[in-house]
Structure 1
Amino acid sequence: MMSASQSQPTMESKLKSLQCHFTWEQGPSRSKLLFLKQELEDIGTEQGYSWLGHIYNLQGFIHYQLGSMEEARRLLSRATEAFRQMRNTVSDEGPWLVVNYGNLAWLHYHLGEQAKCQTYLLKIDALINEYPPPCEDELHAEVYAEKAWTLMKFSKDQKLLAADYFQRALRMQPDMVEWQTSRVIALVSANQQRDKLLEDDIMEKMKIAKDHDPENLYLAALYLEACAQRGEKIVDEARELATRVLRNPVSSYSGIAPLLRLYRVHISKDEAIDLAEEALERHPDVRLLKRCAAICYKWRIYSKSDSPLEHSRVARAISLYKEVISLYPHTSLKMQIVLASIYEESNRQEKADQLYKEMLMSDLDPEGKQVLYNSYGKHIFFNRKRSQQSIYYHMKAAVIPHHSPYRVDSLEKLQAISDKGRSPMSVEIKEFLANLEEPEYS
């Protein structure tokens, strides 16, 4: 006969059944965590911001994963307060705290604070009993929404699932404007492909969401960008939107990034630079803005325009990239690669080679090494005409068991060389490709 203690779920089994970041995300890489940490910092934490609790919640989880336990505790506590303030209800408690309490339960469990862990488990049970979802196999709308928002941050290839979670949340609470906006943004992100127009139904959803959320300038910029891709004239509207964006504080959601992309792709790369510089004059200390400006300079330099960029502007681009690299120390590899290419474009080959040498000597995780080996392989092939050494680096990129566009690119280059059969290494490449094991998808 089973004893009473055996029939009771263990604390660990209860924790594993929770809906929270500790059960949603299993083993994200350190590079991914550092990237997300900086991305969340760039969103900002303006008082009254509708996703403030979600931001603190995810930040707390990330800091736990990075080993900063006390910072994780502080951020998760701030999430609790943010949710209470944002919901502005008679009761401090509500279903919006289920994920946060789950995170806190897990944190206390990992810290060996079992009594506090148990307290939060009981709080979660009480919330679920008081605010049950409409169906037994469904989550509460607040949980669906936070899960969707988190998924949008963690996974580029699960945006459709995020949109579905938002849709489920909206069926239960259709008046949540920010959920509708985020659902549409997820749909746009999931369906955006180079040289492919968004479908009419998504355009219509964007228009409806924009009308319901007129102050969301990020969505407004995405909508104008989609219109421009369809050949519509958007210059006047874009300039009007720019005026509005410039008046607001800068963050990842302020609309400045998609607006600058709209300018450089559909209006003028030089005007994009001018707009970025105007924004920097108003907000000179915002690192996100410096990164956006650097990207505008990059595409102007890469454009091979009939009117080459003035030396002063090339110098400005280099200066910006150096500063941005220092401001994003843990996720600056791709920016360093761009800086090397700008050195190359501006006839500073020694500086380009020196920067690559420093990157090759740096301590990178496998994903970073794959990016670097692929980029360096192309650099020494196109700019230094060292084809055999280039092949070696593409092999190094391909052998790393991580699915990415960089691995695909290196594999395609190796396959093309093998198919032509002109390289002294053709046989070696063929054997390499034949014996290469495909990494498992995580």
Structure 2
Amino acid sequence: MNIMSNTPEDLLKEKLDQLQCHFTWRPQKETIDLEDLMYRLQDSIDMNMKYEDQSYNQLAFVNCLQGKCEEAIQHLKEAEKILRENHKDEFERRIIITYGNFAWVHYHMGQLTKAQTYLDKLEMICKPLSDGPCYTAMIPEVYGEKGWSLLSSAAEYYEEAKECFAKALEQDPDNTEWIMGYGTVLFRLEAFSGTPESCDQSQSVKYFRRVLELDPDDAMAMVLLALKLQRLRQNEEANELVEQALQKNSDLPYVLRYAAKYYRQRGSVEKAIRLLKQALELTPHSCFLHHQLGLCYRSKLKYSRSRSPRNPEFQQKVKLINLCKYHFEKAFEHRPRSAVKPQLDFADTCIIGGEYSRAEEIYSRLVELVDIRPENMQSICLEAGLFELHQKKSETNAVSLFLKGVKIEYNSRERKKCRMNLLEWADRKLRVNAHDSKALGIKAFLYQLDGIKGKATEYFEKALEFDPGNEQYVSALSQLRI
């Protein structure tokens, strides 16, 4: 029999759970790379980026998760001060999340009276703004800040961030902050194969254009729009936008990093490296900058063919491999969960340099990750599978990894490549031995996946001829016949 607890602490917790703030939103300690997020938020504060109050708010949440509650209080005070100075007319609408965070931090510190004080303040602010719970109000300022917080936390939250910006724009359609947020989350989702957004690469373009209509000096909108136009082969306008952005904000790391990516993709690698090094001086812990530098050096590595240690080309190759490894490793140093691509690139560089055991160590760790974006796990399965197949000559392990990638129901490029590798392997085995039960089972599974039930049944039956009693094949056949 459950007895409801009515202690003051429990009653207060019930009220706190009604709040809209970082402590009630989805990102938690287990799903984000705290150290990396802390560096990124601190960088945005140090560079006087837009929405500085939001950075202080989210940093306070990170501090509290790290057990640094006093620091959290100081950062919330900074957020409140900025809002009072910069948003006098909108202060009450914008302070809701900060006061919610204050209440939660005081609760974690055991200061229940102070926590209740902030709940009382929220009740006074929110009652005129909302018909819902008296301690919060679902207004654009709340949706917008939640969207930015989710967007900066981890890729797993991008879809939810998109919904938040959409709700903010429903009520405030010409607000550049929410338009930029919506455009940015579309930009990121369009880059993931398998998302609905990836089917139309131009959706984010209209939002960046709209930001520039309302604020022609927004350099971030310029460089992000340029990257999209580059992908759409509208190179002349893209080039003009990047140059314009650099003229306006040549000392802003976020502008420098996207401009560098633009130049790297255009083939101007040396220019990209110069911009990335400039940005790295301003934000030395940036995962993005280190990853981009690694990619720049790897693009130069392609042209180093010699294998003779005395040959200058070979010496240059070794130098480039070491630079790639250094920057890729820096890119995932504080992001073991979220920086999957830099880790795969690091492993690939190790393979180029013949360091197979180091690559295997990376793949083994990545395969064990849970609760990451599906296309990231499919990328891991693909790259680890190819390593098992070509470097370790372990067909069994390779097939197992490709199968794992295919079984993740997410229609990415990586899944298609896993499928292609499985099909090539099965066909190759069957050319040598038409009775290979495992290859027949793989073909059957792929037909089943494609919805071709007749062929799937035929191949599962053949597989059972040469592997009688295989429970997996028997079970699959039973499902197909039902």
The answer to whether 1:132 aligns with 2:139 is no
The answer to whether 1:12 aligns with 2:13 is yes
The answer to whether 1:40 aligns with 2:41 is yes
C-alpha separation between the residues in 2 aligned to 1:192 and 1:18? Answer: 33
C-alpha separation between the residues in 2 aligned to 1:418 and 1:434? Answer: 23
Are residues 372 and 222 of structure 1, via their aligned partners in 2, closer, same or farther at CA, if it must alter by over 3 Å?
A: closer
Q: Counterpart amino acid of 2:292?
A: C
C-alpha separation between the residues in 1 aligned to 2:328 and 2:365? Answer: 21
Residues 1-400 of structure 1 mapped to structure 2, 5 A cutoff: 10-25=11-26, 27=28, 29-34=30-35, 36-47=37-48, 49-87=49-87, 89=88, 94-129=92-127, 132-133=129-130, 139-154=138-153, 155-171=157-173, 174=174, 176-191=175-190, 198-199=201-202, 203-234=205-236, 236-237=239-240, 240-241=243-244, 243-244=246-247, 247-250=250-253, 254-265=254-265, 267-268=266-267, 271-281=268-278, 284=281, 286-287=283-284, 288=286, 289-299=289-299, 301=301, 312=316, 315-316=319-320, 318-323=322-327, 325-326=329-330, 328-332=332-336, 334=340, 335-345=342-352, 348-349=353-354, 351-357=355-361, 360=364, 365-366=369-370, 375-394=383-402
C-alpha separation between the residues in 2 aligned to 1:383 and 1:426? Answer: 21
C-alpha separation between the residues in 1 aligned to 2:40 and 2:229? Answer: 27
C-alpha separation between the residues in 2 aligned to 1:70 and 1:433? Answer: 60
Q: Tell me the alpha carbon deviations over residues 210-245 of structure 1, each in whole angstroms, 9 at most, x when there is no partner.
A: 132233222101222232333323264156246427
Contact in 2 for aligned 1:40/1:55 (Cα 8 Å): yes
- Offset, 1:361: 7.0
Contact in 1 for aligned 2:20/2:97 (Cα 8 Å): yes
Q: Which moved more, 1:147-156 or 1:358-367?
A: 358-367
C-alpha separation between the residues in 1 aligned to 2:35 and 2:409? Answer: 18
Q: Tell me the alpha carbon deviations over residues 355-375 of structure 1, each in whole angstroms, 9 at most, x when there is no partner.
A: 433664799653589575653
Q: Tell me the alpha carbon deviations over residues 341-366 of structure 1, each in whole angstroms, 9 at most, x when there is no partner.
A: 12333xx21x2433433664799653
Q: Tell me the alpha carbon deviations over residues 120-166 of structure 1, each in whole angstroms, 9 at most, x when there is no partner.
A: 1111112224x625x76962232122122223234123343133133
SS at match of 2:234: coil
Contact in 2 for aligned 1:272/1:296 (Cα 8 Å): yes
- Offset, 1:376: 2.5
Are residues 409 and 114 of structure 1, via their aligned partners in 2, closer, same or farther at CA, if it must alter by over 3 Å?
A: farther
Q: Tell me the alpha carbon deviations over residues 381-426 of structure 1, each in whole angstroms, 9 at most, x when there is no partner.
A: 1334321232345567789x99896995797478647965746744
C-alpha separation between the residues in 2 aligned to 1:282 and 1:66? Answer: 28
Are residues 300 and 339 of structure 1, via their aligned partners in 2, closer, same or farther at CA, if it must alter by over 3 Å?
A: same
Contact in 2 for aligned 1:53/1:80 (Cα 8 Å): yes
- Offset, 1:114: 1.0
- Offset, 1:115: 0.8
- Offset, 1:103: 1.5
Which 5+ residue runs of structure 1 have no aligned equivalent?
437-442
- Offset, 1:202: 5.2
Contact in 2 for aligned 1:53/1:78 (Cα 8 Å): yes
Provide the aligned length of Structure 1 versus Structure 2. Answer: 408
Contact in 2 for aligned 1:181/1:209 (Cα 8 Å): yes
C-alpha separation between the residues in 2 aligned to 1:66 and 1:413? Answer: 44
- Offset, 1:77: 3.3
- Offset, 1:96: 1.1
- Offset, 1:45: 3.7
C-alpha separation between the residues in 2 aligned to 1:191 and 1:358? Answer: 27
Are residues 189 and 31 of structure 1, via their aligned partners in 2, closer, same or farther at CA, if it must alter by over 3 Å?
A: closer
C-alpha separation between the residues in 2 aligned to 1:416 and 1:13? Answer: 54
C-alpha separation between the residues in 1 aligned to 2:422 and 2:34? Answer: 33
Residues 417-436 of structure 1 mapped to structure 2, 5 A cutoff: 420=427, 422=430, 425-426=438-439
C-alpha separation between the residues in 1 aligned to 2:221 and 2:183? Answer: 9
Contact in 2 for aligned 1:56/1:79 (Cα 8 Å): yes
SS at match of 2:95: helix
Are residues 397 and 74 of structure 1, via their aligned partners in 2, closer, same or farther at CA, if it must alter by over 3 Å?
A: farther
Q: Counterpart amino acid of 1:65?
A: L
Q: Which moved more, 1:364-373 or 1:101-110?
A: 364-373
Q: Counterpart amino acid of 2:293?
A: A
SS at match of 1:366: coil
Are residues 247 and 432 of structure 1, via their aligned partners in 2, closer, same or farther at CA, if it must alter by over 3 Å?
A: farther
- Offset, 1:273: 3.9
Which 5+ residue runs of structure 2 have no aligned equivalent?
1-5, 306-312, 431-435, 446-470, 477-482
Share of identical aligned residues, percent?
Answer: 17
Contact in 1 for aligned 2:211/2:218 (Cα 8 Å): no
Scaled by the length of structure 1, the TM-score of the pair is 0.74
Q: Which has the larger radius of gyration?
A: 2
Are residues 127 and 247 of structure 1, via their aligned partners in 2, closer, same or farther at CA, if it must alter by over 3 Å?
A: same
CA RMSD of aligned residues (A): 4.3
Are residues 185 and 231 of structure 1, via their aligned partners in 2, closer, same or farther at CA, if it must alter by over 3 Å?
A: same
C-alpha separation between the residues in 2 aligned to 1:81 and 1:90? Answer: 14
